[in-house]
Amino acid sequence: MNVISTPTLLLDEKTVRRNISVMADKAKQNKVVFKPHFKTHQSVQIGQWFQDVGVEKITVSSVTMAEYFADAGWMDITIAFPCNILQIDRINELAARISLSILVSDANALPVLTQSLTNPVQVYIEIDTGSDRTGWAPHQTDSISKVVNQIYDHSQLQFKGFYSHPGHSYAARSKSEIRKIHGDAVSKINSLKKQFQTQYPDLVCCIGDTPCCSVAKHFEGIDEISPGNFVFYDLMQHQIGACRLKDISVALACPVVATYPQRGEIVIHGGAVHLSKESIRVDGHKMYGRIVQLSNDLHWEEPVDGCWVKSLSQEHGIVKCSNECIKQLDLGDLIGILPVHSCLTADAMKKYYTINDLTELEHMQASL
């Protein structure tokens, strides 16, 4: 790759490695096992940067992703997604070669698991601490107890503990709101833990959202954390209060393909198929990305004030630009876009280029 001429996902390795180190250190200080979620980067090479700080256990969001990272040598993988009983054969194959953990989020999965598992699998019971997505509410202790007993009675199923993704932290808009959600989730998990710990002294509890793991100061009773997005962060995490703008480690380089100074707008090659249609509301308007100036060596600083991606079609992005900014831009220039949701942008782009030397890093999507 000599020159960038199409939408290209740039990655600042230094910032990525810093984000990884900060979270790894935090886990160490709080004596929790760091089991990062790899759904954000989906990259074997970025996975190695986690190995560099001692990570051995990881979390993924699909059987396909577990296979991809197992092929790359990861030997302890949790699939943090409700067990899909249609994939039992692939679960068996995986369990034969790695230490595999799965989530049970619906009791109806157990008959299939108990009948069809051919190798030991560790099972987390998913707890819904308030996100209203998947799992049992913490107060459903009778149902949870039944499921735990069914798991315990079966030779290939090992009851591992409780897993919760407090995804309602995404509705927070400040550090204190995040900490409140975190405190509540931790308290609910601890209450469950106490009820089951006598019978199952080895049970572990894992929580896994980036806002809470980034901002919380206390993890009492929590044994493992599995945040994912923190590796790149994004504008949504910044809006939530989970990161600083300078922690965002990816930017989409986009060519300017039309300039309309009278409208105060430019048009870029960079649309919904690159950034995804995820948006946030800021000052009463929708925003699909913020603008950063790219230096000659493709580094960027904080976003430019008064400029944002105001709409996206399939390949077009319309950027609202301040007069000052538009004066400095010419057709064919490259600008950087900080994404609203880096997981989706990375999934759409299917590869990364490091800003230091434009090394191409793999994304799982390109290998499917």
**Residues found near a second copy in the complex (CB under 8 A):** 3-6, 39, 61-64, 81-87, 90, 105-106, 108-109, 112, 132-134, 167, 255, 257-260, 263, 267, 269, 272-273, 276-278, 313-316, 318, 330-332, 341, 343-344, 347-348, 350, 366, 368
Cα 79–chain centre separation: 13
d(Cα 99, Cα 72) in Å, to the nearest integer? 14
Closest approach, Cβ 302 to a second copy, in A, equals 26
d(Cα 118, Cα 239) in Å, to the nearest integer? 46
Closest approach, Cβ 106 to a second copy, in A, equals 4
Q: Between 219 and 226, whose beta carbon lies closer to a second copy?
A: 226
Whether residue 328 contacts residue 256, with contact meaning beta carbons closer than 8 Å, is answered with: no
Q: Between 291 and 319, whose beta carbon lies closer to a second copy?
A: 319
Whether residue 339 contacts residue 289, with contact meaning beta carbons closer than 8 Å, is answered with: yes
Q: Between 32 and 343, whose beta carbon lies closer to a second copy?
A: 343
Closest approach, Cβ 17 to a second copy, in A, equals 23
**What distance separates the 2 farthest-apart alpha carbons in the chain?**
72
Closest approach, Cβ 62 to a second copy, in A, equals 6
**What SS3 string covers 140-195?**
CHHHHHHHHHHHHCCCCEEEEEEEECCHHHHHCCCHHHHHHHHHHHHHHHHHHHHH
Q: Between 74 and 81, whose beta carbon lies closer to a second copy?
A: 81
Closest approach, Cβ 87 to a second copy, in A, equals 5
| CB-count burial class (<10 Å; 0-12, 13-18, 19+) for 248 | buried
Give the chain's length.
368
Q: What are 123's strand-pairing partners?
A: 102, 159
Q: Between 63 and 178, whose beta carbon lies closer to a second copy?
A: 63
d(Cα 337, Cα 106) in Å, to the nearest integer? 40
Cα 172–chain centre separation: 17
Closest approach, Cβ 63 to a second copy, in A, equals 8
Q: Between 22 and 257, whose beta carbon lies closer to a second copy?
A: 257
State the residue for tokens 């975190």. Answer: 182
